[in-house]
């Protein structure tokens, strides 16, 4: 059995570190070198899939939302599902970069930059979906409180307006956090490259030199940003969950929704982290920086949040039975045995049950099994939102009004396009900026001493 010990890169103990500060700079700067053929092919694939989405979107703008599978009474379907899916993906990044920073978890250092980039691009993707979904996309700015001719203001009692504020704040703050953390690393890259790349990184480093004064303000500010991002990440998916929980639709109107959504968000996000960084660390040759130890810890987080989901699913069914409310009971019965039974079981198996496999260390530390299970997590969490949204809407209080919706090419085109758009940004980022935080890894390695190593 593999015994997982923290590698010396992230060790506080007195072991002789095999990696020095200059090794870190060299290996991370090397990831920014010329792109391999595999990278170019993957990027072209992402752009191609994104173009499918763009084409679908142009058709939607021209003809309207009729192409999508909306069918009364289901007027929230794949776009809103995918919106919630991508917002959720973002949450793992902020958990790792901000919450684990406050908890002083040393293992976060190696993975936090890639997860934070994932957060920014996932929220960027998510933000497009409400706009696609509203139909008349060119007047989306009506959602914002701005002084228009009649001085009409948005209804701040509506969860949909809370969402506008929550998502735009989340996008702004997580982008700020990512860019802020990048500045010292960009400065380190600047000092290693030459030619036109040096010019670009010099501008991007905004004159950073790592002086005592700069670090003094930077370290403090980083702490405050983490402290601000922590409640923010918990609030964002709570607000998203209230889009549903505030409505009196059976299956939605529960107080459990906020914590249930936050746990699901982090679970799905870590699934996406695993899907992204397992191939990435091989492509960029940073297997010695992101190791089995980090995957083991990520898998433990998945186990924790997946178990919360298991509890939430069980509790939803229990409360539906215990409430004695016919509508609630019918909704939950139909989730498991109604026309959408396959989606309902996909959600329970991929989330609640697959996560329980992470009790086994052999699974947590096996990269192949982690990668396969992470795909299940992504699928399961998309279906969770699909089930919650579509199954509740398709059978509410009036049985004669019940109907099903079937996603069309317009739904799938936009969904696929969102993966292309997200993948394109993530891959461009990984080649343009250090995907492993240079400065924070260095902080973990004690600097050499003249008078022998001691701590």
Instruction: Please state the closest distance from residue 306 (CB atom) to other proteins, in A.
Output: 28
Instruction: Using CB atoms within 10 Å of the CB of residue 302, give its burial: 0 to 12 exposed, 13 to 18 middle, 19+ buried.
Output: buried
Taking CB under 8 A as the binding criterion, the range among 67-75, 211-219, 333-341, 401-409 that sits at the site for other proteins is: 211-219
Identify the residue among 50, 57, 85, 208 touching other proteins (CB under 8 A): 208
Nearer Cβ to other proteins (184/254): 184
According to the binding rule CB under 8 A, does residue 407 interact with other proteins?
no
As a whole number of angstroms, the distance between CA 326 and CA 336 comes to: 16
* Interface segment toward other proteins; rule CB under 8 A; list 225-233, 270-278, 334-342, 410-418: 225-233
> What per-residue string of b and e applies to 214-252 under the rule 16 or more CB within 10 Å gives b?
eeeebeeebeebbeebbebbbbbbbbbbbbbbbeebbbb
43 part of the interface to other proteins, by CB under 8 A = no
**Residue 94 and residue 215: Cα distance in Å, rounded?**
22
Q: Choose between 165 and 311: whose C-beta lies nearer to other proteins.
A: 165
Q: How far is the CB of 192 from other proteins (least distance, A)?
A: 7
Among 178, 239, 284, 340, binds other proteins (CB under 8 A): 239
Residue 104 touching other proteins (CB under 8 A) = no
Closest approach, Cβ 214 to other proteins, in A, equals: 4
CB of 29 to other proteins, least distance (A): 10
Give yes or no for residue 97 binding other proteins (CB under 8 A). no
Phi/psi at 74 (nearest 5 deg)?
Answer: -95, 100
CA angle 442, 447, 450 (to 5 degrees): 165
Q: Which one of residues 5, 36, 219, 356 is an interface residue with other proteins (CB under 8 A)? A: 219
**Interaction between residue 5 and other proteins (CB under 8 A):** no
Question: What is d(CA 202, CA 188) in angstroms, rounded to the nearest whole number?
Answer: 10
CB of 172 or CB of 326, closer to other proteins:
172
Which phi and psi angles does 6 have, rounded to 5°? -60, 135
* Residue among 5 and 158 whose Cβ is closer to other proteins: 158
Contact segment (CB under 8 A) with other proteins among 21-29, 72-80, 309-317, 329-337 equals 21-29
CA distances (Å), origin 262, targets 139, 237, 269, 345, 358: 30, 5, 10, 21, 20
For other proteins, the binding residues in 170-189 under the rule CB under 8 A are: 172-173, 176-177, 180, 184, 187-188
Closest to other proteins by CB, 23 vs 292, is: 23
φ, ψ of residue 451 to 5 degrees: the values are -90, 40
Shortest approach of other proteins to residue 455 CB, angstroms? 11
- Site membership for other proteins, residue 14 (CB under 8 A): no
Answer whether 387's CB lies under 8 Å from 404's CB.
no
CA 38/CA 35 separation, integer angstroms: 8
* Contact region with other proteins (CB under 8 A), list: 254-262, 375-383, 424-432, 446-454: 446-454
Token pair 């209804």 is found at 155
101 is a site residue for other proteins (CB under 8 A): no
CA 122/CA 379 separation, integer angstroms: 16
| Binding of other proteins by 217 (CB under 8 A) | yes
Contact with other proteins (CB under 8 A): which of 34, 141, 196, 207? 207
Instruction: Rule CB under 8 A: say whether 442 interacts with other proteins.
Output: yes
| Helix (H) or strand (E) run with residue 201 in it | helix 196-204
Residue 374 contacts by C-beta under 8 Å, 6 or more apart in sequence?
A: 271, 272, 273, 274, 275, 278
Binding mask 138-167 for other proteins (x = CB under 8 A): -------x-----xxxxxxx---xx--xx-
Burial of 291 (0-12, 13-18, 19+ CB in 10 A): buried
Residue 385 interacting with other proteins (CB under 8 A): no
* C-alpha to C-alpha distance for 251 and 316, rounded to whole angstroms: 8
CB 291 within 8 A of CB 384: no
3-state class of 74 per DSSP?
strand
Q: Residue 104: how many CB atoms within 10 A of its CB?
A: 7
Q: Give least dist CB 179 to other proteins, A.
A: 8
* Binding-site ranges for other proteins (CB under 8 A): 20-22, 25, 145, 151-157, 161-162, 165-166, 169, 172-173, 176-177, 180, 184, 187-188, 190-192, 206-221, 224-225, 228-229, 231-232, 235, 239, 439-440, 442-443, 446-451
């Amino acid at each position: 059995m593999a015994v997982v010990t923290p590698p010396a890169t992230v060790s506080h103990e007195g072991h002789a570190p095999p990696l020095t500060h200059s090794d870190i700079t060299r290996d991370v700067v090397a990831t920014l070198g010329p792109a391999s053929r595999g990278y170019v092919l993957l990027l072209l694939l992402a752009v191609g899939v994104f173009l499918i989405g763009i084409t679908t979107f142009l058709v939607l703008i021209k003809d309207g939302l009729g192409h999508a599978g909306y069918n009364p009474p289901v007027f929230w379907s794949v776009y809103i599902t995918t919106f919630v899916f991508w917002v959720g993906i973002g949450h793992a990044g902020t958990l790792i970069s901000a919450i684990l920073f406050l908890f002083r978890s040393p293992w976060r250092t190696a993975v936090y930059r890639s997860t934070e980039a994932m957060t920014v691009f996932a929220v960027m993707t998510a933000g497009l979906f409400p706009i696609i979904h509203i139909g008349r996309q060119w007047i989306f700015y009506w959602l914002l409180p701005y002084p228009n001719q009649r001085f009409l203001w948005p209804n701040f009692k509506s969860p949909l307006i809370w969402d506008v504020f929550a998502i735009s704040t989340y996008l702004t703050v997580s982008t700020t956090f990512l860019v802020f953390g990048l500045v010292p690393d960009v400065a380190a890259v600047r000092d290693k490259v030459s030619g036109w790349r040096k010019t670009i990184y010099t501008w991007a480093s905004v004159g950073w030199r790592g002086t005592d004064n700069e670090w003094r303000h930077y370290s403090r500010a980083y702490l405050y940003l983490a402290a601000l991002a922590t409640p923010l990440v918990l609030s964002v998916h709570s607000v998203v969950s209230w889009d549903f929980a505030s409505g009196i639709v059976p299956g939605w109107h529960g107080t459990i929704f906020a914590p249930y959504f936050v746990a699901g968000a982090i679970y799905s996000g870590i699934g996406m982290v695993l899907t992204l960084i397992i191939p990435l660390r091989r492509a960029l040759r940073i297997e010695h920086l992101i190791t089995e130890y980090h995957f083991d810890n990520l898998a433990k987080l998945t186990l924790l949040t997946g178990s919360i989901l298991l509890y939430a699913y069980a509790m939803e069914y229990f409360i539906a039975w215990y409430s004695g409310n016919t509508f609630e009971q019918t909704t939950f019965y139909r989730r498991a045995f109604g026309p959408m039974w396959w989606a309902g079981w996909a959600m329970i198996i991929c989330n609640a049950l697959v996560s329980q496999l992470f009790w086994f260390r052999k699974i947590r530390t096996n990269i192949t099994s982690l990668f396969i299970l992470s795909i299940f997590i992504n699928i399961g969490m998309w279906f969770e939102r699909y089930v919650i949204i579509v199954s509740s809407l398709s059978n509410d209080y009036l049985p004669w009004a019940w109907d099903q919706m079937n996603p069309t090419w317009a739904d799938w085109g936009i969904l696929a396009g969102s993966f292309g758009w997200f993948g394109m940004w993530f891959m461009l980022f990984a080649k343009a900026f250090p995907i492993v935080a240079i400065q924070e890894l260095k902080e973990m390695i004690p600097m050499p001493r003249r008078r022998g190593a001691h701590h």
